[in-house]
Chains A and B, each alone.
Chain A
Amino acid sequence: MRLVVMLMMLLTAAVLALPPVTATAGEPAWLPKPARGRGEKCVANTDWMRRNHMTALMHHRDEAVHEGIRTKRFDLTGCIDCHAVKGADGKPVTFASPKHFCRTCHDYAAVSIDCFECHASRPEAKAASTGEAVPERAPASGVAALTQYLRSMAQ
């Protein structure tokens, strides 16, 4: 019995003496490390997003498609824009690449998703022909623009 206890203590000491195996504090090295987003922080805290992003996306999608509620917070295009990973050619990678933000975890968890059979898996490229940047979507000014158009038509 005494021997067993000593052995366990030795083992514990050995484990503690090992160099840290984690790249980031508290997480083992073998866990996937999805690319950080561009901004300061995500639309919700990381723990919550890990567990609930699918529900949030699904809820948003139903509201957006059927009721036209297009809030930005859980919009898939927001995730794609913010978490874009650049490939060797300097362009954002598509879902075909294992480096893609979504794939980093989903490959690890063996959860296959079909979002990107329809949805764009990378931010929209700048227009090739003109080299012009894709205009930012601005709902407030957009409404003003449509209002102006409707008024101009009415005159």
Chain B
Amino acid sequence: MSCGSKSGAGYGGASGCASASASGNGVDDARRNFLRGAAAATVTTLAAGVTLYSFGAEPATARAPGEEVSSKVRWGLLIDASKCGDGCTACVIACQTENGWHDTGHPETDPQWIRKLTVENPKNGASFSLPMMCQHCAEPPCVDVCPTGASFKRADGIVLVDKHICIGCRYCMMACPYKARSFVHEPLHDQKPYAPRGKGTVESCTLCVHRVDDGRIPACVEACNDTGGGAMLFGDLNDPSSEIAKRVAAYRTTQVRADLGTNPGVHYRNI
């Protein structure tokens, strides 16, 4: 990754290159592991029964079906735009297949749980491609504006619409800076059993919550790894030993429109 990577037209938050210098300098793994172990021991002795952080030994995902989600976990994505193929739509197709949405012939209002964007610098023609979906913000504007509480953030950081209480006012669609949400205008039939969708409600990427709760990774990430460019990485941003947290710590990543203070769970590289 170079400091001179293209910064996308229209996207703010072009941070400096200084943070990249701390990475990849061969931090001594043994020392890191030793410190990690020491920290874990300290935590357990200081606060009996209360675990502040889980370090590697027990995966954060090992949750019984009857156990509620915990804010110890924060699910996120890291998307490397340099690996995202220009014409590749593997993630979009996978999302459509998984969640049962598709184009209806009305491009203005068609559902877009995930879409591919090509960002071009008009001055020099340089362009790159990236997938855009719900950014699963830590401070989601859609949740702030929802008048019924239907739009909510789960403890593990996944932002969802509870369609049982959504009245279809679409205020959240207006509030979302990422245009991530869409509204169902037509009656639907034969939805996927694990991805209910219906007329009169707002919907968006769920980070494949049914798969995540099942211990699997989102469909888009799976498809990107299998048939796409391997640009997407899913994991727990709160777990310092997770690959995503390591990479976010090591490389300069960009949160789209970071200036808005929404703190998205989706991080991009090379945009």
Binding site for B on A (CB under 8 A): 61, 63, 65-72, 77, 80, 94, 117-120, 122-125, 137, 139-147, 149-151, 153-154
B67 touches A117 (CB 8 A): no
Given contact pairs A120-B192, A146-B217, A147-B62, A65 touches B69 in the complex (Cβ within 8 A): no
What is the distance, in angstroms, from B240's C-beta to the closest C-beta of chain A? 11
CB of B189 closer than 8 Å to a CB of A? yes
A147 touches B61 (CB 8 A): yes
Residues of chain B within 8 A (CB-CB) of A153 are 233, 235, 242-244
Residues of chain B within 8 A (CB-CB) of A142 are 214-216
Residues of chain A within 8 A (CB-CB) of B196 are 118-120
CB of B197 closer than 8 Å to a CB of A? yes
Q: How far is the CA of A145 from the CA of B152 in the complex (A)?
A: 28
**What DSSP secondary structure best describes chain B's contact surface?**
loop
Question: How many pairs of residues, A versus B, come closer than 8 Å at their CB atoms?
Answer: 106
Binding site for A on B (CB under 8 A): 59, 61-63, 65-69, 152, 154-156, 160, 162-164, 187-194, 196-201, 209-210, 212-217, 233, 235-236, 241-244, 246
B155 touches A67 (CB 8 A): yes
What is the distance, in angstroms, from B6's C-beta to the closest C-beta of chain A? 26
What is the distance, in angstroms, from A55's C-beta to the closest C-beta of chain B? 14
Q: How far is the CA of A146 from the CA of B163 in the complex (A)?
A: 28
Please, could you name 16 A-B residue pairs with CB atoms under 8 Å apart, sorted by A? A66-B154, A68-B154, A70-B210, A72-B65, A118-B163, A119-B193, A120-B191, A122-B190, A137-B214, A142-B214, A142-B215, A143-B215, A146-B59, A150-B61, A151-B59, A153-B242
